[in-house]
């Protein structure tokens, strides 16, 4: 949690991704979801969100897409870019 913003960080074979951890459907913590085939599944209602772009995969309804954040790794430190702050912040 950073400045009241919940961010889920996921490390997969495809890379490291940061996504809004609050499910856009019911507010469940996506960071506690299961990751499979590049998507995270909400632990409450099992809605799936693609980690690379936040797209809600179970229906074609962009209202439910999850916000994603740009990530970079420097010297084994994960940095996440936040829109509301001019500088990156170190999360891990």
DSSP H or E segment with residue 78:
strand 77-80
Give per-residue pLDDT as tens, 28-78: 999 999 999 999 999 999 999 999 999 999 998 999 999 999 999 999 999
pTM, full prediction: 0.84
- Alpha-carbon distance of 30 to 22, in angstroms, equals 6
Contact 65, 24 (CB under 8 A): yes
Specify the pLDDT at position 4: 79
Contact 10, 16 (CB under 8 A): yes
Among 82, 17, 2, 78, smallest CA distance to 53 is for 17
DSSP class of residue 22?
A: B
Specify the pLDDT at position 84: 58
Among 59, 84, 57, 56, smallest CA distance to 69 is for 84
Tell me the domains of the chain and their CATH numbers: 7-90 (2.102.10.10)
Specify the pLDDT at position 86: 46
């Amino acid at each position: 949690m950073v400045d009241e913003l919940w961010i889920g960080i996921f490390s997969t074979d495809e890379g490291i991704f940061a996504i809004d951890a609050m499910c856009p459907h019911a507010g469940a913590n996506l960071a506690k979801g299961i990751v499979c085939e590049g998507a995270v599944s909400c632990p409450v209602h099992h809605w799936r969100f693609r980690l690379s772009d936040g797209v809600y995969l179970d229906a074609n309804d962009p209202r439910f897409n999850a916000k994603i954040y740009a990530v970079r790794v420097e010297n084994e430190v994960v940095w996440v870019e936040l829109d509301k702050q001019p500088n990156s912040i170190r999360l891990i």
